[in-house]
Amino acid sequence: MRPGKLCGLAAVVALTATACAGGGADTGRDDAGRGGAGFPVRIADCKGTKTTFTAPPRRIVTSNASALEMLLRLGAGDRVIGTGFPPGKGALPAALDARARKVPVLGKHLIAKEKLLGSGADLYIDTFASMGHMGGAGDAPTDDEFAAAGIKHLYLASTACAPMAKQPQRDLSGVEDDIRRLGAVTGTADRAKQLIAGMRAKVAAVHQAVGSVPERQRPTYFFFDYDAGTKQPLAVCRKQVANAVLTQAGARNVFAGCDGDFRPVSWEDVVAKDPDWIQLGVRNRGDAAANARAFDEAAAFLKSFPATKGLTAVKKGHFLRIGSERTTIPGVGTADTVEEIAHTLYPARFKEARR
């Protein structure tokens, strides 16, 4: 674990919080040695306010499919009583997809405040409610309202509070820490370790194949968020999870220089970058055919739009059809996205690695 990289982010385990502050006895690992089952566990938000869990939560609501997927993979999916932003059909592997379909949908998008507070949950896991590009928290419950309803409120740090981090996200340590924290809170820490080990093995194989490529020789890459609109592109900046994904895959995010997580840019900015590759970032439509049509539409736009049809990536047909959620929102599958991008950008190097 590299705690310094997540200093200041929400939902940081006490180990991380005290490491940011210069050390202390109140750490997650110390807590894990007491109580016989890894409890109490203390989680600190980005302001340092701590939430204490004396036992695993029994009724969890997730704000979107990212936290839901993590809980399913951790073996805590049976405790999820509702979710917002449910995963589109086929977004998760078959076994997980079937289990995800059984989780009640409390909101196709953000969960209404009254419905969340009346859900009977004892924990709400928030992936992005504080993120400005998602429209803010909307009419989100206050801390006092959460407390009155008996609901503890945690964030996925790698997304919800990434904009306020001091350092960019260049590796998957933030995603790993989110998985580790949920494992600690739900009493599935051993499973979390297994999941993280699997992710690291995949990323290590990518590093072995492409790690020797000098930075200046790595292909430039633009994540085109098609669903954010075509009038003004939305760039993924250095503090977004996608920047870590691209960096680990051996690509150079053309907008890694912008601060924060997302930022509106102009098509003139994109043209000036002239990326070698463009990812067609399309959100899951819940149907393979609909997804394919959306990818086709995104590619057709770039090929016909006067400002982009002359770009290197467009002329060469260097498009990657990888869903937005798999790239910009944390999950165990984030490592799979690293693999897919790297194999697309460096096919010859992986052929050599297999010999």
Residue 201 lies in a domain: no
Does one domain contain both 140 and 26?
Answer: yes
Does pTM surpass 0.75?
Answer: yes
* Dist CA 229 CA 139 (whole Å): 24
Residue 202 lies in a domain: no
Check residue 129 and give its pLDDT: 55
For residue 153, give the nearest of 70, 81, 61, 85 by alpha carbon.
61
Does one domain contain both 136 and 71?
Answer: yes
Task: Among 146, 166, 196, identify where a domain stops.
Answer: 196
Whole-Å CA distances, 123 to 51, 52, 231: 11, 12, 39
Q: Which two tokens stand for residue 22?
A: 């210069």
For residue 211, give the nearest of 4, 350, 22, 50 by alpha carbon.
350
Does one domain contain both 247 and 145?
Answer: no
* Dist CA 236 CA 238 (whole Å): 7
* Dist CA 327 CA 236 (whole Å): 10
Residue 174 lies in a domain: yes
Does one domain contain both 18 and 157?
Answer: yes
For residue 156, give the nearest of 26, 276, 65 by alpha carbon.
65
Whole-Å CA distances, 170 to 32, 245, 251, 291, 320: 29, 7, 11, 29, 20
CATH number of the domain at 66, please: 3.40.50.1980
Does one domain contain both 341 and 221?
Answer: yes
Structural domain count of the chain: 2
Q: What amino acid occupies position 86?
A: P
Does one domain contain both 30 and 179?
Answer: yes
For residue 176, give the nearest of 52, 6, 31 by alpha carbon.
6
Q: Which two tokens stand for residue 333?
A: 């599958």
User: Can you give the length of the chain in residues?
Assistant: 355
- Per DSSP, the residues of 141-166 read PPHHHHHHTT-EEEE-HHHHTGGG-S
Q: 15, 29 in Cβ contact below 8 A? A: yes
Residue 217 lies in a domain: yes
Torsion angle, CA of 108/89/71/94, rounded to 10 degrees? Answer: 170
Does one domain contain both 107 and 225?
Answer: no
Check residue 90 and give its pLDDT: 79
Residue 39 lies in a domain: yes
* Dist CA 206 CA 209 (whole Å): 5
Task: List the chain pLDDT tens, one digit each, 355 residues.
Answer: 333 344 333 333 433 332 332 222 233 333 333 334 689 999 877 667 789 999 999 999 999 999 999 999 999 999 999 999 998 887 888 889 999 999 999 999 899 999 999 999 999 999 875 444 344 445 789 999 999 999 999 999 899 878 888 899 999 999 999 999 999 999 999 999 999 999 999 999 999 999 999 999 999 999 999 999 999 999 999 999 999 999 999 999 999 999 999 999 999 999 999 999 999 999 998 888 999 999 999 999 999 999 999 999 999 999 999 999 999 999 999 999 999 999 999 999 998 766 6
Q: Which two tokens stand for residue 33?
A: 């040695």
- Bond prior to 87 in cis (omega within 30° of 0): no
Check residue 47 and give its pLDDT: 67
Residue 51 lies in a domain: yes
Does one domain contain both 343 and 319?
Answer: yes
* Dist CA 146 CA 95 (whole Å): 33
Residue 98 lies in a domain: yes
Does one domain contain both 177 and 244?
Answer: no
Does one domain contain both 128 and 276?
Answer: no
pLDDT for 316-347, tens place per residue? 999 999 999 999 999 999 999 999 999 999 99
pLDDT for 24-80, tens place per residue? 223 333 333 333 468 999 987 766 778 999 999 999 999 999 999 999 999 999 999
* Dist CA 128 CA 134 (whole Å): 7
Task: Among 172, 196, 220, identify where a domain stops.
Answer: 196
Residue 205 lies in a domain: no
Task: Among 150, 168, 196, identify where a domain stops.
Answer: 196
Does one domain contain both 104 and 221?
Answer: no
Check residue 244 and give its pLDDT: 98
Q: Which domain holds residue 147?
A: 3-196
Does one domain contain both 186 and 218?
Answer: no
